[in-house]
Chain A
Amino acid sequence: MDLKSKYYKTWEEYRALNPDIDEKQAKAMAEKMQSYEEMMFAFVMFLCF
């Protein structure tokens, strides 16, 4: 799903905006960071449901 927004970033987009994150840390944090992004998306959309 292609969602372009100032307020939602895929992990790849987030990574590109944060080049300071090294590979090892990126691997460890990717899933968790994306899950919070998805939770906020779900919450925001619920507010209009």
Chain B
Amino acid sequence: MSPSNTDAPRNLFRAIATDLHFWIPLCVLLGGLFLLDKLR
């Protein structure tokens, strides 16, 4: 059975949250913000 349309945002969120490719840039971004805070 195909998922209903109302599940689409939840499925999209799950696909992104379980994608390692998402977490690598996010961690680097947080590191960059930390460095910027130290530099200012």
A, B assembled together = no
Residues of B at the A interface (CB closer than 8 Å) are none
Residues of A at the B interface (CB closer than 8 Å) are none
